Structure 1
């Protein structure tokens, strides 16, 4: 008779292999869950400190980028932390600042703090190599400020993408842009008549503030051209939001759909005031 190799040992080995794979998968899921839990705890502590530092009414959104979190935590060096806060009011009567709908963003590059201190909320010794900060001033605030001179309604902010506005040569493409072309659209009231207007011009960075300069205004009623100088003057608004997050000074401006954006950076700063 011919001898046959028993099949059972192979089945046992196959079952053991499957069992090991399942164990590894479960351990992997647990490790990932633990990593995210630690990251969430760290984000919560930073959000608490940033609420105090930025004087916000609510905790900002905080995200510690990079996976796995635990490797960054063991080094005490978090490569990129994002902080976002939306609809923030800022009022400083001494500085003449009264803005009610700002978006504040800060990107922290290499935040240095020990894991134990971070989880305990003790970040008094934490430092940041570089902070890229920005503030967005939206149409709601522009409309309110413009109304102090002339009644406007439904003002919108857009980049001016006309060919003439995009042909200005830039000496250094990498240098911060201190001017940007704008297009403002909205309505005003003239002798009880609603007039639709489109204004073209530039925003410029002047002493840390945004200065609006209007070059051309188009009206839907050409018989009212005599009011264009008045409208141009009314839209020549200066908006000063003060310093950027972490005390960074504005060095660049740009126009986005619905907002003006001021941005700048600061290096070697503490996470919280000492």
Structure 2
């Protein structure tokens, strides 16, 4: 065979070798991708099991719940945190009702949750308990309307066929939600908010906060987004059933 023929035949095998190398790499990449997908799926399943377990524990302890709580465990890879027995962040969302029948939306933020024995403990907990203003108004009686005004509570009530409007600052004293009138009008005309009758009427609307779950203690109260929200916090919280 002459040199020209050898030169023409030499490159024929090279693309095949290249194709083999690329083919091998492709299968390695596919295999690696499959392993990552399986690991992610296992991680998701493990997180789901833990979330279900925590939800069951919360539900067993809180009889006021009106449905199953929604629990979310953050931290990826989850299995690594599970192996260590700690989770940096757990969120719990739930619906409940007070003894008076008022609907409550609860949002609890747990930090540094650890598995201890057969249960869980959280280093700290922060929570918000919100009651819609329209539900509070309905509980106050017919003709009462509640709304939010720059972080204050606006109370409107018909009196002698004309609107009496009182705007009150909402505060917290111990475990009692307090109200202090800051402005008032009757039929559009301003009134002295310090009027004894207005002050007494506002005082009657104050409410004591019932015992909160998980050992939470009230830390503040606010009016926003169509609801009154009680803020609470606690340390070293046990998530075991009572």
Deviation at 1:134, TM superposition (A): 2.5
1:103 aligned partner:
105
Seen in structure 2, the aligned counterparts of structure 1 residues 196 and 33 have a Cα distance that, compared at 3 Å, is: farther
Q: Give the Cα–Cα distance (whole angstroms) in 2 for the partners of residues 231 and 152 of structure 1.
A: 17
Q: Which has the higher contact order (CA 8 A, sep 6+)?
A: 1
2:32 aligned partner:
24
Contact 2:146–2:153, Cα closer than 8 Å, also in 1: no
Seen in structure 2, the aligned counterparts of structure 1 residues 205 and 109 have a Cα distance that, compared at 3 Å, is: same
Please give the root-mean-square deviation of Cα atoms over the aligned residues, in Å. 2.7
2:159 aligned partner:
190
Q: Give the Cα–Cα distance (whole angstroms) in 2 for the partners of residues 17 and 196 of structure 1.
A: 78
| TM norm structure 2 | 0.83
Aligned residue for 1:67, secondary structure, equals coil
1:213 aligned partner:
180
Aligned residue for 2:109, secondary structure, equals strand
Aligned residue for 1:113, secondary structure, equals strand
| TM norm structure 1 | 0.74
Unpaired segments ≥5 residues, structure 1: 92-97, 115-122, 161-181
Seen in structure 2, the aligned counterparts of structure 1 residues 29 and 158 have a Cα distance that, compared at 3 Å, is: farther
Deviation at 1:202, TM superposition (A): 0.8
Greater radius of gyration (CA): 2
Q: Deviations over 1:5-57 (max 9, x none)?
A: 32101001111111111121122122111111111111111111101112223
Unpaired segments ≥5 residues, structure 2: none
